[in-house]
Structures are given as structure tokens and as C-alpha cells.
Amino acid sequence: MTSTSKVRVATVWLSGCSGCHMSFLDQDEALIDLAQQIQLVYSPIMDVKVFPENVDVTLIEGAVANEDQEELLKFARERTKILISLGDCAVTGNVPGLRNGITNSADAVLKRAFVETADMNPQIPTDVPTLLPKALPLHEVVKVDFYIPGCPPPADLINWVISRLMRGLPVNMEGRSKFG
């Protein structure tokens, strides 16, 4: 199989702990089989600056918590055939979403992190992306095609979903993954 006929896969890391990427890598020897069939075109584990065009499958970890992430997510959606929400932060908002219950949460968490608990030079940074009012699950921002819940999702489940999708088989999550 030449690289041109391989499934073009991207992975994206938004507001998450990278645990879902760790779980993706935790597929161990199954990654070798997967590598024969896919071409990784964009990922935090490789050095590509711009999200490429014509991506077949994109797995996205983390909630949408700032303006840059929102832009990247929309960009990825435009350029991807199948977009998958990977893990609880992407599916439910999970831990990044815990700030959503606080009034003026963006200002409140920045103040807490950079001013109230700072030992030296307490100041809110201005050269980083602006936080959104709420950290949102992906499907509240763009259309999502498939969901792999879990914190993190088990490696076997990630492999099962990707393998089924590549063979054009239906993905029914009944009894497969704990929600949340």
C-alpha cells in the first residue's frame, strides 16, 4: 500500500490533560497495524504547524476553552470528513468545564491562577489566547460525527472505533464505554 492510499488521520489537543493521546499511544502493538493503514498528517506528537487539507479522520481531545482552540476546531471541521470527539473533556466539558458554574468564570480563574496564588509578579498574562466564557464540549461548537467517551477512553476502545470506521462498519457504543 502506498502512502497516498492510506487513510489521512489527524489528532488535535485542546483543553485536556493529554491523557486521551496517551491512551491513543497505549494501543501498543496495534499501533503497528494501524500505521500500515493510516498516514498521520497532524498531531501534537509531530511538528506540523498548519492543519492540512483533505483529512479523512480527526480525533480531538479536550474541551473548547479559548478563542484559538475554537478557531482550530472550526478549521479542522472544514478540512475533515469524519470528526471524532475523543474523551470526556471533548464529549462533556469534564474538568475544564468545572469553571462554567462560576460567574465571570474566565476572569475568575485567571485571577485565581495568576494573581491570588502567585508568589512573585502577580499579573494576568496578555499575550495568550483569550478564554471563552465557558469551556464547551466540541458538539456545542461544530458538528461531531462520533464520540469516544471516557477519562481517558480505553486504548482498546479507541482502536475498536477507528478499525470499525476504516472498514465502513457501524459504531454502536452500547455496553462498550462508560459515560463520564
Partner 1 sequence: MTVGTVKLKIDNVEVAVPEGTTILEAAKSNGIDIPTLCNLEGLSGYGGCRLCMVEIHGSPKLFAACVTPVGMGMEVITQSDKLREYRKMAIQFILSERTHICAVCVANNACELQKLANDLGVDHVMFEREWTRLPVDSTHDFLVLDRNRCILCTRCLRVCDEIEGVHTLDLKMRGKDAQVIIDLDEDWANSSSCTSCRKCAKVCPVGAIYVESVALEETKDKGIAEFVLSRRNRK
Instruction: Answer whether 86's CB lies under 8 Å from 159's CB.
Output: no
Is the CB of 16 or the CB of 72 nearer to partner 1? 16
Instruction: Answer whether 62's CB lies under 8 Å from 96's CB.
Output: yes
CB of 3 to partner 1, least distance (A): 32
CB of 163 to partner 1, least distance (A): 17
CB of 23 to partner 1, least distance (A): 14
Amino acid at 56: D
Please enumerate in sequence order all residues whose Cβ is within 8 A of that of 106, keeping only pairs 6 or more positions apart, or say none.
Answer: 99, 130, 131, 132, 133
How many residues of this chain bind partner 1 (CB under 8 A)?
31
| Using rule CB under 8 A, residue 77 touches partner 1 | no
| Using rule CB under 8 A, residue 178 touches partner 1 | yes
| Using rule CB under 8 A, residue 170 touches partner 1 | no
| Using rule CB under 8 A, residue 180 touches partner 1 | yes
Q: List the 80-86 sheet strands across, edge first.
A: 38-42, 7-13, 55-61, 80-86, 146-148
* 79-98 binders of partner 1 (CB under 8 A): 85, 88, 91-95, 97-98
Nearest-angstrom CA–CA distance, 11 and 42 = 6
Nearest-angstrom CA–CA distance, 122 and 105 = 19
Going from the C-alpha of 122 to that of each of 108, 116, 130, the distances in angstroms are: 14, 7, 18
Is the CB of 6 or the CB of 139 nearer to partner 1? 139
Nearest-angstrom CA–CA distance, 143 and 162 = 18
* 106-165 binders of partner 1 (CB under 8 A): 134, 137, 139-140, 144, 146-149, 151
CB of 144 to partner 1, least distance (A): 7
Which positions touch partner 1 (CB under 8 A)?
Answer: 85, 88, 91-95, 97-98, 100-102, 134, 137, 139-140, 144, 146-149, 151, 172-180
